[in-house]
Amino acid sequence: MQGLEQLEFRDRLGRRLIRCLSGLAIFAIGISMQMNANLGAPPWDVFHQGVSNQTGITIGRVIVITGFVLLFFWIPLKQKPGLGTILNALEIGLVADIALEIIPEPSNLFVRVAMAGGGIVVVALGTGLYIGSALGPGPRDGLMTGLAKRGIPIRVGRTAIEVAVLVTGFLLGGQVGIATFAFALGVGPLVQFFLPRLAMKKPTI
């Protein structure tokens, strides 16, 4: 009986890992679509673009570096990373560097709008998959939940942090546009739609 339980656990962990890896790759493709549409990047990626512009480091590498730097802020918040946390910090940036090179930058406005809108949907789909795998939150999400445990509502903490990184990224040369605000307004409801349909179990977030 114990052997069967171990096999079931390993099988379930394997499926979670596949979902997590797939979701992170899809997420990276989605943000790359939005950035290459050139109508404004998602708030965090405005920051990543800005740092990339100032340092010459690729956007993907900035995403990776930022993810690991944020994990240091987890320490005073007593947050514990999971396997999905580490994969998030690594994979999104690595895939984004590849996707940004492959995905075209269209000149037609209607195609750009469609690409930006599609990117938001793709990000939400990827988010539903990797959060639904229940292998641990991403570095940015864990920061929000850690602050919430210290009495700061997630809405307040998330808004304050994202506004701060957005303004900082803009000042560093990151691209802010209509798609930036479309992402900020649209990704939450879309994730809420996808997550219960893609989660292997009800996530605690």
Confirm whether 203 is domain-assigned: no
DSSP 145-182: HHHHHTT--HHHHHHHHHHHHHHHHHHTT----HHHHH
Q: Within a domain: residue 204?
A: no
Decide if 143 is inside a domain.
Answer: yes
Nearest-5° Cα angle at 10, 14 to 136: 60
**pLDDT single digits (tens) 53-93:** 999 999 999 999 999 999 999 988 888 899 999 999 999 99
- What mean pLDDT is predicted for residues 103-119? 97
What pLDDT, on the 0 to 100 scale, is given for residue 51?
98
Counting the structural domains of the chain, the total is 1
Domain assignment of residue 173, yes or no: yes
Q: How many whole angstroms separate alpha carbon 135 and alpha carbon 155? A: 23
Phi, psi at 38, each rounded to 5° = 55, 40
Q: pLDDT per residue over 158-203, tens digit each?
A: 788 889 999 999 999 999 999 999 999 999 899 889 988 888 754 4
pTM value is: 0.89
Average pLDDT across the chain, whole number: 89
What whole-number distance in Å separates Cα of residue 44 and Cα of residue 175?
11
pLDDT of residue 5: 47
In the chain, the amino acid numbered 175 is: Q
Percent of the chain with pLDDT over 70: 92
* Domain residue limits at 28: 2-198
Whether the pLDDT of residue 1 is over 50: the answer is: no
Q: Is residue 126 part of a domain?
A: yes
| 162/168 Cα distance (integer angstroms) | 10
How deeply is 115 buried, as exposed, middle or buried, from its count of CB atoms within 10 A (0-12, 13-18, 19+)? buried
Yes or no: say if 113 and 39 are a contact pair by the CB < 8 Å rule.
yes
pLDDT of res. 180: 97
How many CB atoms sit inside 10 A of residue 102's CB?
9
Nearest to 136 by CA among 20, 25, 44: 20
Q: Does a structural domain hold residue 104?
A: yes
